[in-house]
Homo-oligomer: A and B are copies of this chain.
């Protein structure tokens, strides 16, 4: 990575942190600058505007995310249950790597999407919904998921449960991202109730690690 781009990335990382902590609109370029060790005006040597920092943060995150998602969704060998599992795991790994970016995305995406500049967020959310709902519907069709499942609702349920974690998850905590993903999946798939008789294989089999 050229020196130039490395500095950009460093500043974007700081900015993402502040955006996540204070919210985009409450964040001042002077705060970003201070936390990065330079003055407000100097940021404009690297970036066009505060908004363009936000855009680059979100684009970078979505690119990385979809790289992972596409690999999963393109794998025809995976059944709906394994696909869902892999999607959740991948999402938590993304939270682990791009925590602040995910938090910003989760906080601001909805209202930013109205702006033409951030139309790519709308597309992303559409693709998102497609991926999850298709997986859920496949699962209902082939008997992996409950036939009485309200797919629209289940989609929102899954989407929210996964992404909100970005607001409290901190890397280096007592659980790894994969461990949290496992717990989440366990709750989502099998519920928190105690069940009468369920083959253990369906609820606690470790999922395959993507390479």
Contact = CB atoms under 8 A, between A and B. Distances in A.
Interface of A: 21-26, 81, 107-108, 110-111, 136, 139, 143-147, 149-150, 153-154, 156-157, 160-161, 164-165, 167-168, 175, 180, 183-184, 187-199, 202-203
A115 to B, nearest CB: 12
- Scoring A23, A167, A180, A195 by chain B CB atoms within 10 A of each residue's CB, the highest score goes to A195
Contacts of A149: 192
B192 A154 contact: yes
A199 B202 contact: no
- Scoring A25, A154, A156, A191 by chain B CB atoms within 10 A of each residue's CB, the highest score goes to A191
Q: How many copies does the complex hold?
A: 2
18 contacts: A22-B111, A23-B23, A23-B111, A24-B26, A110-B167, A143-B194, A145-B192, A145-B193, A147-B194, A153-B183, A156-B165, A157-B184, A160-B160, A161-B164, A188-B192, A193-B202, A195-B195, A196-B198
Contacts of A157: 161, 184, 187
Nearest to A169: B156
Q: Interface SS of chain A: helix, strand, loop or mixed?
A: helix
B156 A168 contact: yes
Contacts of A184: 153, 157
Given A21-B111, A111-B23, A198-B196, A188 B190 contact: no
A24 B136 CA distance: 35
Nearest to A164: B160
A160 B154 contact: no
Contacts of A107: 107
A9 B40 CA distance: 41
* 8 interchain residue pairs of minimum CB distance: A191-B191, A25-B26, A160-B164, A190-B191, A189-B193, A25-B25, A189-B191, A153-B183
